[in-house]
Structure 1
Amino acid sequence: MVSAKIFVLAALATVACAKSRCKPTSTSISSASVPTPTLPSTGGSKEVPAPPPTAVLKKIAVGHGLQNYTCTTASQPTAAALGALAVLYDVTALYPGTPGSPLKDQEDFDALTTDFLWTHDLPINFVDAAAYVADTTNPFPAPAEAVLGGNLHIPFLGHHYFDFEAIPMFDLSTIGLKASVGKNDSAPAPAGADVGPSGTGAVAWLQLKESGKGRSVGLDLVYRVITAGGNPESCAVTGPATYSIPYSAFYWFYSLS
């Protein structure tokens, strides 16, 4: 099983590295010459609601990390979500058409979540890496850029985690923005979405709204889209257990003021 996984990872890494990509030269989304990014669609019968016309897009990030789950019994219908740990990388300047972006089409941009999931080491401090057991006292390594395909450099943006009240938190520490949010709506990931290394499927797309806890700074609305991996194992398979599943996803961050 391990050798097969290594073979798949190596094959996908070869594909990613074969693409000619260079370090982006622009990180601004305010210039009139920059295209207006369009939130993606699932293409299915259910969509997450679009942001209001007055919403201002602040950043687009790829989050790469773990979705956490627990099963109390083997007969539990579905595993209960225990939150997430992920590092956020700033891909705003990579949006197709942005001056300096080496990604010329939407397909390459949308593939970033799969590229991260299969070719980039999980940016988590582990107690047991083989079992995806994170060090909960110090889960994140020192901030560092991600390098995909050998030459695509993507800046570190911040962290995603659940706070002391189990509220989803996005800390965009490099730009001083924060989002404390709760789920407002969801839509299933499209058919054909990347099932991830664990083979469990892609987590749902989400619209997340400000929690009202007073912990947000400059952000009111977050979308999780183009998800890869992250769905839980069946409790019938795991039995009583707490465990984590690797995932990646795009996060779009908006201000409403």
Structure 2
Amino acid sequence: MFSKTLLFAAALVASVSASPCKPRASGIPLPVLPSTGAVDLPAPNPSCALKAIAVGHGIQNYTCADGNATPVAAGALAVLYDVTSLYPGTPSTGLSKEAFNALTTSTLWGSNIPLNLKDPEAARPGTPASPNNGMPPSSYGAVVADPFIAPADLPQPDGAPLKFLGHHFFDAAGNPTFDLSTMNLRFSVGLKQSVDVPANADRGILDTGAVKWLMLNDNGKGLGNTGATSQVYRVITAGGVGEACSKEGAVPVASVPYTAFYWFYAE
């Protein structure tokens, strides 16, 4: 399994797509956003600072009006784990570039979906050779009234657990929200720009493809506490693309497992 994760990550281009925001202490590397190897997202706001890097693990939701429709995005749910200290070059705790970039794939395939699913059996990923993808889309959906399990760190086979950081969800008005509860930071954002994923991106448990990389800016509604210039980037995604409506038919909500890195910037 881990050899597969390295295979996905090793082909990612290591060039930089963004300039560091602000100086850091001597000896600590300046984290820079990864590159798709083609068209990249714009650099972060120069007035910002990197607050955290997280791996998000959860589901992307879609609706299908009928079997001839195109899946329409309908929000997401994910648990966020802090991987800031694992950034390559960080003294004592940093991973290799290949191992760091592979965290989304290793988390997707190596951990149960950390949500209260309508069908608990759907939480198990299976393996790349035998994925747990034979269930109807409703099986991967979360319990609406109580989607999140109790906060917990994520065990790792080789190293310390990934620390619980918070939750990603869409609020009642449909605003993408990131509640980094352990840092008392809340980002309420809107889509600014998206780019296509690398050709070798992990297609996920349902083999539907990896969701696009995104730049999300503060939505200006005063719903967060991180300021008007705050930004969230979604990069190195695995899975999450909706299944074809021709396969699912008319469904109110179809859910697809995914993982992604989230980089959080604020003044």
**TM-score, length-scaled by structure 2:** 0.83
Partner of 2:91: 99
> Counterparts of 1:31 and 1:87 in 2: how far apart (Å)?
29
Aligned-residue offset at 1:55: 1.9
Partner of 1:243: 254
Q: For residues 66-100 of structure 1, give each alpha carbon's deviation from its aligned partner in whole angstroms, at most 9, with x where no partner exists.
A: 00001011111x20001000000000000011122
> Counterparts of 2:36 and 2:65 in 1: how far apart (Å)?
32
| 1:225 equivalenced with 2:235 (yes/no) | yes
| 1:72 equivalenced with 2:96 (yes/no) | no
> Counterparts of 1:190 and 1:15 in 2: how far apart (Å)?
16
Partner of 1:39: 33
Aligned-residue offset at 1:127: 1.7
Partner of 2:263: 252
> Counterparts of 1:127 and 1:188 in 2: how far apart (Å)?
31
> Counterparts of 2:215 and 2:3 in 1: how far apart (Å)?
34
What secondary structure does 2:208 align onto?
Answer: coil
What secondary structure does 1:155 align onto?
Answer: strand
> Counterparts of 2:165 and 2:101 in 1: how far apart (Å)?
18
Report the RMSD for the aligned CA atoms in angstroms.
Answer: 1.6
Judge conservation of contact 1:66–1:244 (CA < 8 Å) in 2: yes
What secondary structure does 1:88 align onto?
Answer: strand
Q: For residues 173-211 of structure 1, give each alpha carbon's deviation from its aligned partner in whole angstroms, at most 9, with x where no partner exists.
A: 001001000000000111000000110000000000001
Aligned-partner residue type, residue 94 of structure 1: L
What secondary structure does 1:62 align onto?
Answer: strand
* Unmatched segments (≥5 aa) in structure 1: 1-11, 17-28
> Counterparts of 2:221 and 2:45 in 1: how far apart (Å)?
22
Partner of 1:115: 106
Partner of 2:11: none
Partner of 1:191: 199
Aligned-residue offset at 1:102: 4.9
Judge conservation of contact 1:194–1:227 (CA < 8 Å) in 2: yes
What secondary structure does 2:30 align onto?
Answer: coil
> Counterparts of 1:144 and 1:217 in 2: how far apart (Å)?
24
Partner of 2:125: none
Partner of 1:48: 41
Count of aligned pairs? 230
Judge conservation of contact 1:13–1:149 (CA < 8 Å) in 2: no
> Counterparts of 1:15 and 1:80 in 2: how far apart (Å)?
30
> Counterparts of 2:46 and 2:243 in 1: how far apart (Å)?
38
Q: For residues 24-54 of structure 1, give each alpha carbon's deviation from its aligned partner in whole angstroms, at most 9, with x where no partner exists.
A: xxxxx9532210001011111x221111333
> Counterparts of 1:36 and 1:144 in 2: how far apart (Å)?
28
Aligned-partner residue type, residue 223 of structure 1: Y
